[in-house]
Amino acid sequence: METKVLIIGSGAAGYSAAIYAARANLEPIVVTGMQPGGQLTITTDVENYPGFALIQGPELMEQMRIHAENVGAKVIDDHIKNVKEYNKSRFKSTGNISDYYSDAIIIAAGAQAKWLGLESEKKFQGYGVSACATCDGAFFRNKVVAVVGGGNTAVEEAIFLTRFAEKVILIHRRDVLRAEKVMQDRLFNNNKIEIIWNHVVEEILGTENPKKVTSMVIKSIITRSLQEIKVDGVFIAIGHAPNTAIFKSLVEIDDQGYIITKPGTTLTSKDGVFAAGDVQDKVYRQAVVAAGTGCMAALDAEKFLESKDS
């Protein structure tokens, strides 16, 4: 399949890029990837996306897909396995069902929160289990929540959640935090936060109707004993992994796996390749930010193609 711009990924960044690229008559193709719609498809209520006072995550992404298709983008449910330069000035992206030849590529493949790998964790995702305090913290006003982790992300999430929660319990598998000293000081000085050291999460418990978290079982790594603690929500904060493995030979990537872009742009180290959303954003990780960088990537790609044609 031939296109001027191939967009890899179908979250807020990918669809935003598709809308702007289509309006610029670039006839973009969007390849959705393994999780069409991105991370918002595994959330429930979204209250912080401008223009939607309250909308379900999957519904918001479906609206974005419809919008992209209505303005002329072609959306294909496929998964890209390999990308390489082709004939020095074009790119060949190999998918499961087709090959895609393009003059430019916008990488918007997103990132995935690292999870504990528990069945009960998966069961209650979006119903009390979250990987984003900024997204979901407000739903736990005056409630008790747990944060799992010991790095900067976990400490930041725990401190942030004290704005809403009555109590925040930080659960860490070691007896010392990995977070920066200044962050630790803020955590230790916050009287809303309790720390449980040397414990791991064994199971998350809840009700079916309504579906919600009610407690969790944790295990001591020293005594192996179990205890159940009452919580209304569980925030997993053990990091994110950008979906960039297949791009490592194409563009420059940092030691955490994020694509490096020129400050203030979506330009990567490779001419004609642009990156938007969570593949290059390790700070904000919000849908509205991803959508903004998707717009930027489309405009950057348009400018690149114009210069190529002139």
pLDDT band of residue 290 (cuts 50, 70, 90) is very high
Nearest Cα residue to 268 out of 34, 57, 27, 104: 104
Distance from the first to the final alpha carbon of the chain:
24
136: annotated active-site residue: yes
pLDDT score, position 41 = 83
Identify the CATH assignment for 2-112+240-309 out of 3.40.50.150, 3.50.50.60, 3.30.1330.60, 3.30.70.20: 3.50.50.60
CA–CA separation, 8 and 110 (whole Å): 9
135: annotated active-site residue: yes
Which run of H or E residues covers position 22? helix 12-23
The residues, any chain, with a CB within 8 Å of residue 194's CB and separated by 6 or more, are 167, 168, 169, 170
**Helices within 162-266 (DSSP H only):** 181-188
pLDDT score, position 123 = 96
pLDDT band of residue 149 (cuts 50, 70, 90) is very high
CA–CA separation, 74 and 297 (whole Å): 17
pLDDT band of residue 134 (cuts 50, 70, 90) is confident
The 10s digit of each residue's pLDDT in 22-73 is: 999 999 999 999 888 988 887 777 888 999 998 988 999 999 999 999 999 9
Q: Which is catalytic among the residues 103, 135, 281, 300?
A: 135
pLDDT score, position 164 = 97
The 10s digit of each residue's pLDDT in 82-125 is: 999 988 789 999 999 999 999 999 999 999 889 999 999 999 99
pLDDT score, position 299 = 98
Nearest Cα residue to 297 out of 63, 46, 66, 12: 12
Average pLDDT value over all residues in the chain: 95
Q: Which is catalytic among the residues 78, 103, 136, 281?
A: 136
pLDDT score, position 101 = 97
295: annotated active-site residue: no
Segments of the chain assigned to CATH 3.50.50.60: 2-112+240-309, 116-237
DSSP secondary structure string, 85-124?
Answer: EETTTEEEEEESS-EEEEEEEEE---EEE-----HHHHHT
pLDDT band of residue 189 (cuts 50, 70, 90) is very high
Q: Which is catalytic among the residues 78, 132, 232, 278?
A: 132
pLDDT band of residue 285 (cuts 50, 70, 90) is confident
Joined tokens for residue 56: 């379900």
Give me the helix-helix angle, 57-70 and 12-23, nearest 10°: 20
pLDDT score, position 65 = 97
| Topology, domain 116-237 | FAD/NAD(P)-binding domain (3.50.50)
The 10s digit of each residue's pLDDT in 166-182 is: 999 999 999 999 998 99
